[in-house]
Structure 1
Amino acid sequence: MLNKEQLHHLIDEALKEDVGDGDHSTLSSIPSGQKGKAVLKIKQDGILAGVEVAKEIFTYIDPSAVFTSYKNDGDAMHNGEKAFEVEAGIHTILTCERLVLNCMQRMSGIATLTHQYVEKLKGYHTKVLDTRKTTPNFRLLEKEAVRIGGGVNHRFGLYDMIMLKDNHIDYSGGLENAINRAWDYVTTKKPGLKIEVETRSLDDVMLVCNFAKDKVFRIMLDNFSPAQVKEAVDIIGGAFETEASGGINIDTIVSYAETGVDYVSVGGLIHQAQSLDLSLKAVVV
């Protein structure tokens, strides 16, 4: 469920960027207070995402708006279908039009690509994770789109999980130092915060297994081949959650799922997704 406060902040900032000192196209051509109706038309097949976001945009700007959904987030969509209809002040419809389309087109592209990955993993234990490779100030909706597409959200930001990656480890002087310092930090400053650690070799995996069982909850296997991931999963033996990461794509994900790894993280769910074609059209009686 989207955080309304965060979503409203996103809407405010996006409209501030777009509208500036006024939507002069609308102000100059449409009488104030005039009501109208518009329909969201689907022009490309895929997985629909952003319907609830669109509803929130319209009703946040115009509380009297009437929003009628014909399809829901996560539904398969096909060219020629209608997603929703909105009745509101015409100024609201026209001023919000591009924001609604930008959000829904981007979200639907991400949800569609995520769904393709999820379909590949059917029958396997492995789940697909997103990453922090997101568009600044749009992460809220990009990660929501991954969830709508059937993927699993990784940490939202730097604040909700400790993730010790290669640079943290190298700057700390090694795995043990990094993990021990993180654990001390958690126990004294942020009780309950989970620690994930990146490993770059099977030796790293064995080291973590030998001394960090009560400190780390997940081991990332970075840039491991499927064969190396299988060996690492066998070494770990269920003592930690496991995540494979690094260059994994739609063509290789099954070979990683076959190893029994718990998660595969794919930055491309977001940064390689292509927006889908949608349009908002006036209904003229």
Structure 2
Amino acid sequence: MIGLAPIFSYDDQLKRFLLEDVGSGDVTTRSVFSYEARHRKASAKIIAESDGVFCGGPFGSRILSYSDPMAKFEAIPDGQPYAKGECLVAMEGALESLLLCERVILNLLKHLSGISSLTASYVEMVRLLRKSSRSLRITGTRKT
């Protein structure tokens, strides 16, 4: 809607996701690893469990930056198809930050990529059906 401010920013929502998941911190990481170990540089990758279409990279990067502004987050482009076993995301930063954020990032990327994968399958279905001269199109509504 033109001229109306959004009710909330995506930053606010991403911070809520992180706060909901970890609250005041990752108790397990703090009890298992020493202070020095928690602050050592570590790396992590997210590998595809199945074929799909990726979505959410910028949000994952943003979530990680809340915990570690110096962390690196590289993801394949949004909208890019991927195959099972492919590396979708590579992260590097303090071990504690990676462990703190990984579940929130993974949940969000799985949810968004699931939506884009399902949408892509419908688009492909319509494309194939149109070849047989059927008049089809995909439309979106705001009604729920």
| Residues 175-214 of structure 1: pairs in structure 2 closer than 5 A | none
The 5 Å alignment of 1:165-176 reads none
Is 1:85 the equivalent of 2:118? no
Query: Which structure carries more helix by proportion?
Result: 2
2:77 to 55, 69, 72: 72
TM-score (norm 1): 0.42
Q: What is the total number of aligned residue pairs between the two structures?
A: 129
Distance apart, 1:87 and its partner CA: 0.6
Within 2, Cα distance between the matches of 1:44 and 1:125?
28
User: Which residue of structure 2 lines up, in the alignment, with residue 31 of structure 1?
Assistant: 34
Which of 116, 139, 144 is residue 111 of structure 1 equivalent to?
116
Higher RCO (Cα < 8 Å, 6 or more apart): 2
Give the 5 Å matches for 1:222-233: none
Larger Rg: 1
TM-score between both structures, scaled by the size of structure 2: 0.78
Unaligned stretches of 5+ residues in structure 1: 134-285
Contact persistence 1:42–1:80 (CA under 8 A): yes
Identity of paired residues, percent? 30
Measured against aligned partners, the alpha-carbon deviations of 1:155-199 in whole angstroms (never above 9, x if no partner) come to xxxxxxxxxxxxxxxxxxxxxxxxxxxxxxxxxxxxxxxxxxxxx
Q: 1:47 aligns with which of 48, 53, 56?
A: 53
Of 5, 10, 26, 1:7 maps to 10
Q: Deviations over 1:57-106 (max 9, x none)?
A: 1123311011223x211111111110121111111111111101110111
Q: 1:16 aligns with which of 16, 19, 28?
A: 19
Secondary structure, counterpart of 1:121 in structure 2: helix
Structure 2 unaligned blocks of 5 or more: 1-5
What secondary structure does 1:128 align onto?
Answer: coil
1:118, 1:128 within 8 Å by CA — same for their partners in 2? no
Q: Note if contact 1:30-1:90 (Cα within 8 Å) is conserved in structure 2.
A: no
Per the alignment, residue 3 of structure 2 pairs with: none
1:42–1:82 contact (8 Å) kept in structure 2: yes
- Is 1:62 the counterpart of 2:68 in the alignment? yes
